Structure 1
Amino acid sequence: MLEIDGEPLLRKAVRALGGAERVIVVGPERPGFGDVVWTSEEPPRGGPVAALAAGLALVRAQTVVVLAGDMARVESSTVDKLRAAIGAGDGALLVDADGYRQWLAGAWRTARLRDALAADPAAKSLRAVLNRLDFAEIPDSAGESADVDTPEDYDRFR
């Protein structure tokens, strides 16, 4: 719920998904987000793999976009280019200028993502789950994959 440019980070992610049939947020329900479906991972605070599984359980669409709720520069154009890049593969994800794959900024074929999770439901690493899939790496434009993990990150975007 940290604010950047007067807007909570989570709102930026939800807004970037504006054309979605349904937006699912995994985590504690927050006020001011009546336009989303809320769910929780098991166990609570169980990490990205548990969160992905919880959200994916509610997805009805053939493709799903996965975004972290702490991305400071994500836009609808980010989502558009990820969806367009899936092509014949299983998905697409953002890669920053240093070559770092942003595992929580991608678009995926829902069935393939479910298969990858089912192959190792106790996986601790999202990287281990998603690395099994065939995905395109999409270059980050203007820091759109940057997230806010530390006070220094927050200061950089304020």
Structure 2
Amino acid sequence: MIEPGLTSFAAIILAGGQATRLGGADKASIEVHGRTLLEHALDAVIDASEVVVVGHSVPTERPVTFVVEDPQYGGPVAGLLTGRDALLRSFPTLAVLAVDMPFLTAATLRRLQDAAVDHDGAVLADPDGRRQLAFVVASAALDRVRPDHEAQHGHALWPMLDQLDVVVVPAHAREHRDVDTWTDLRDLADD
């Protein structure tokens, strides 16, 4: 359960996918409005005490830990848990986000943290109510539902989180938008 007034948290940025609908392009390096998607994601987690990027190492202005998920391309659960295991310290709360959401902000994450008080976590939802890969979760709660290492590859994220008390938080404006295709990228560039 997430406690009120909690200020120290760690962030895990998931950047290790195959981006098949983008022809295998490195999402972290794609630019939107003159900045890479990774730079946008790092801005969103500016309040985090520690940041792990699950993906290949690239230069950043902020000190972060890079790690490749085990198994590689094992999906968001493998990435999330590999990122959690790479943290140098323990944190009561984790913020987790996909690298391809350039309109997420630190305010978005604060709103998720506020909504998660007295729950196991909170997840951002688009205007149609679909959960997005942007959420906060209590570390202890995540540990309760963590699959064995062998089961992490291809393990579905939402059924795992559905075992927890996670509040759905509606997105404001375009913060739920992501880049899955070149058309998405073109449309974001027009925003």
For normalisation by structure 1, the TM-score amounts to 0.93
Identity %: 36
Match of 1:128 in 2: 159
Seen in structure 2, the aligned counterparts of structure 1 residues 20 and 147 have a Cα distance that, compared at 3 Å, is: same
Measure the CA separation in 1 of the matches of 2:54 and 2:121: 21
Which string of whole-angstrom CA distances, capped at 9 and with x for unpartnered residues, describes residues 77-118 of structure 1? 11110111111110000011011011x200110111122113
Aligned Cα root-mean-square deviation (Å): 1.5
Measure the CA separation in 2 of the matches of 1:10 and 1:121: 29
Measure the CA separation in 1 of the matches of 2:38 and 2:93: 21
Measure the CA separation in 2 of the matches of 1:16 and 1:121: 32
> Is this contact kept in 2: 1:23–1:36, CA < 8 A?
yes
Match of 2:79 in 1: 51
Measure the CA separation in 2 of the matches of 1:155 and 1:117: 37
Match of 2:147 in 1: 118
Measure the CA separation in 1 of the matches of 2:83 and 2:137: 13
Measure the CA separation in 2 of the matches of 1:107 and 1:71: 15
Counterpart selection for 2:63 from 30, 35, 53: 35
Compute the displacement of 1:120 (Å).
8.4
- Runs of 4+ off more than 3 Å: 118-121
Unaligned runs of 5+ in 2: 1-28
Counterpart selection for 1:68 from 84, 92, 98: 98
Q: Which amino acid aligns with 1:48?
A: P
Measure the CA separation in 1 of the matches of 2:99 and 2:61: 13
2:39 is equivalent to residue 8 of structure 1: no
Compute the displacement of 1:30 (Å).
1.0
2:20 is equivalent to residue 20 of structure 1: no
Measure the CA separation in 2 of the matches of 1:81 and 1:108: 13
SS in 2 for 1:78: helix
Measure the CA separation in 2 of the matches of 1:58 and 1:114: 14
For normalisation by structure 2, the TM-score amounts to 0.78
Compute the displacement of 1:72 (Å).
2.1
Seen in structure 2, the aligned counterparts of structure 1 residues 95 and 53 have a Cα distance that, compared at 3 Å, is: same
Measure the CA separation in 2 of the matches of 1:51 and 1:68: 10
Measure the CA separation in 2 of the matches of 1:70 and 1:24: 15
Match of 2:22 in 1: none
Unaligned runs of 5+ in 1: none
SS in 2 for 1:57: helix
